[in-house]
Chains A and B, each alone.
Chain A
């Protein structure tokens, strides 16, 4: 295995470099091991960038796969090589944390279609020597999970002690439990749902249209042509970011407070703090994320619908499952509202699976799963500790 390298210079250049030569472990699959896709096409060769934390035990039974969300990456519990910021889930993953790396071997891989080192639209297409761009076939959530399974196989791990993740990561958790029930001892899907809702598809479409409407997108060939649809991607991020928060949370944080001024300026500058905040979110996002990746990964979420493959009955998907599930949702999450999690819980109940469910009270919306939420931490810790006691009884 390659060793981790850290502290590359921040900025768009660094982000671009990560696509082919990531600052993390890399697993490569040759032409003889293609990733077969739901679309009927396949990807070969395939590269998967991943990070690990903790130590794999002798019988390889203590591995936890963490699945990242739409714009996340494999740097779950260590400094991000592009932004220089802490890992995206350091509140949950680490020594002594709820997902305790003193005890568990944690794996997190960049999704296929991403831009941090797993094969995606920003990766160099070995057939042409140019970035894939839109030549990369469309990816689905089951495709992402199939690629993760190839990685887990390559690491010699048969059964994962747990698969955990929030939002799109939670979709992958559910997909793992459905596609590989015997390989998942426990599943921890957080702030997610069994399918992407019509409203969520609509929001994604706004983001994609913003990117594609940017003249610098160049029909997806911006990398080859030396441009970047920065404005379109920033607008996509701004729109999406609103859906990650709640009305109440935004109001608590910003209210109608003005940005560096005493009164409104009667113009279209960022008068309000909330505008300034969103602009900052948009601008910092384009430094680290590839616009085409945003198209691919949002599309993967849109296509997600577990029940569709099981005659429209979600419970059939979990029939006979021996996985222990712990489902969590947040009261103010309107992107994946509690009703979505309850649909999963109901189906698990109907199929006789072991399931726990917690709805956590917070005004921080969908993003709450990434933030300091003690009740979530207590839930994860309690669930994993008791499951470990059962696993190694």
Chain B
């Protein structure tokens, strides 16, 4: 893996830089839930990818269009079936899987559409989350997860171990796991229980 040599202050989300580092130059990419197109624009600029996106929100689609990206307004839960098998090199789902109605189906579709899949998500096994639930008895509301339980779009939280379990279930091979600590720093090699306790965010490169 080649870490992306970007010192971009424009990109606020560290996981996007990590993802960009996992994408081979010149490849074809589908970004599922691409938002305003920040990641696709970054990938086009730094990795010269041929990028496409799906986004639910009108505002996001329009901002993406204005950036010159090819983006389809649609719902990842229902619209991924429209894409042919192996039509792109990477299907990316950044910080979105926890908002999917059917995450397992989405992950399966991603690995059908792309040769590889990249998924980033917040780790619900992080010690602060466990502490909130274990000691306070309340669902966590943190800087990273700012919603109350009743109005959160995040309906399918998982821990690192939960996610690797799903990967095993759908037959996804974990090629590269990248785990970031609460400071956004890449954690060095460690046992899974350690990552699962101290990792705040994870970026996984998967293959079929």
Which of A's residues lie within 8 Å of B, judged by CB? Answer: 324, 326, 342, 345-346, 349-350, 352, 354-361, 375, 378-379, 381-383, 385-387, 389-390
| Other-chain contact of A356, B58, B71, B82, B84 (Cβ < 8 Å) | B71
CA distance A381 to B65 in the complex (A): 9
> Chain A residues with Cβ under 8 A from B128's Cβ?
none
Q: Whole-angstrom distance from the CB of B35 to the nearest CB of chain A? A: 15
* Interface residue? B87 (CB, 8 A): yes
| Other-chain contact of A386, B66, B74, B82, B87 (Cβ < 8 Å) | B66
CA distance A221 to B143 in the complex (A): 76
CA distance A199 to B195 in the complex (A): 58
A356 touches B87 (CB 8 A): no
Q: Whole-angstrom distance from the CB of A77 to the nearest CB of chain B? A: 23
> Chain B residues with Cβ under 8 A from A361's Cβ?
58
B65 touches A326 (CB 8 A): yes
* Interface residue? B61 (CB, 8 A): yes
Give 1 or 0 for each of B26-50: 1 = CB within 8 Å of chain A CB.
Answer: 0000000000000000000000000
> Chain B residues with Cβ under 8 A from A378's Cβ?
62, 66
CA distance A354 to B87 in the complex (A): 12
> Chain B residues with Cβ under 8 A from A352's Cβ?
84, 87
Task: Please indicate which of the listed interface residues A355, A358, A385 has the most CB atoms of chain B within 10 Å of its own CB.
Answer: A358
User: 18 A-B residue contacts at CB 8 Å?
Assistant: A324-B70, A345-B72, A345-B82, A349-B82, A349-B84, A350-B83, A354-B70, A356-B64, A356-B65, A356-B69, A357-B61, A357-B72, A358-B58, A358-B62, A360-B58, A379-B62, A381-B66, A386-B67
> Chain A residues with Cβ under 8 A from B71's Cβ?
356-357
* Interface residue? B68 (CB, 8 A): yes
| Other-chain contact of A382, B66, B73, B82, B83 (Cβ < 8 Å) | B66
B66 touches A385 (CB 8 A): yes
Q: Whole-angstrom distance from the CB of B11 to the nearest CB of chain A? A: 20
CA distance A354 to B154 in the complex (A): 31
CA distance A382 to B36 in the complex (A): 13
Nearest 6 pairs of A and B residues by beta carbon:
A386-B68, A382-B66, A382-B65, A357-B72, A346-B82, A354-B70
B66 touches A356 (CB 8 A): no
Which partner residue on chain A sits nearest B28 by CB separation? Answer: A352
A390 touches B70 (CB 8 A): no
B73 touches A358 (CB 8 A): yes
| Other-chain contact of B68, A346, A381, A389 (Cβ < 8 Å) | A389
CA distance A390 to B87 in the complex (A): 23
Task: Please indicate which of the listed interface residues B61, B68, B69, B73 has the most CB atoms of chain A within 10 Å of its own CB.
Answer: B73
Additional A-B contact list (8), CB under 8 Å, known A357-B71, A357-B72, A386-B65:
A324-B70, A345-B72, A356-B65, A356-B72, A359-B73, A378-B66, A382-B65, A386-B68
Number of A-B residue pairs having CB atoms within 8 Å of each other in the complex = 63
B72 touches A349 (CB 8 A): yes
The size class of the interface chain B forms with chain A is 10 to 19
Q: Whole-angstrom distance from the CB of A46 to the nearest CB of chain B? A: 38
Q: Whole-angstrom distance from the CB of B45 to the nearest CB of chain A? A: 13
CA distance A97 to B62 in the complex (A): 17
B65 touches A358 (CB 8 A): yes
Q: Whole-angstrom distance from the CB of A331 to the nearest CB of chain B? A: 10
Which partner residue on chain A sits nearest B64 by CB separation? Answer: A356
B68 touches A375 (CB 8 A): no
CA distance A358 to B84 in the complex (A): 21
Which partner residue on chain B sits nearest A381 by CB separation? Answer: B66
A349 touches B83 (CB 8 A): yes
Considering only residues 77-94 of chain B, those with a C-beta below 8 Å from chain A are 82-84, 87
CA distance A350 to B52 in the complex (A): 13
Which partner residue on chain B sits nearest A326 by CB separation? Answer: B65
CA distance A326 to B52 in the complex (A): 13
CA distance A385 to B68 in the complex (A): 8
Asked, given contacts A349-B82, A361-B58, whether A387 binds B87 with beta carbons under 8 Å apart, the answer is no
CA distance A359 to B72 in the complex (A): 9
> Chain B residues with Cβ under 8 A from A379's Cβ?
62, 65
Which partner residue on chain B sits nearest A378 by CB separation? Answer: B62
> Chain A residues with Cβ under 8 A from B84's Cβ?
349-350, 352
Asked, given contacts A356-B71, A357-B74, A358-B61, whether A350 binds B82 with beta carbons under 8 Å apart, the answer is yes
Q: Whole-angstrom distance from the CB of B123 to the nearest CB of chain A? A: 33
> Chain A residues with Cβ under 8 A from B61's Cβ?
356-358
Asked, given contacts A349-B83, A360-B58, A378-B62, whether A387 binds B72 with beta carbons under 8 Å apart, the answer is no
| Other-chain contact of B62, A346, A382, A385, A387 (Cβ < 8 Å) | A382
> Chain A residues with Cβ under 8 A from B73's Cβ?
357-359
CA distance A349 to B113 in the complex (A): 11
Which partner residue on chain A sits nearest B68 by CB separation? Answer: A386
Which partner residue on chain B sits nearest A346 by CB separation? Answer: B82
Task: Please indicate which of the listed interface residues B64, B68, B69 has the most CB atoms of chain A within 10 Å of its own CB.
Answer: B68
Considering only residues 94-120 of chain B, those with a C-beta below 8 Å from chain A are none
Which partner residue on chain A sits nearest B113 by CB separation? Answer: A349
Q: Whole-angstrom distance from the CB of B80 to the nearest CB of chain A? A: 10
B58 touches A375 (CB 8 A): yes
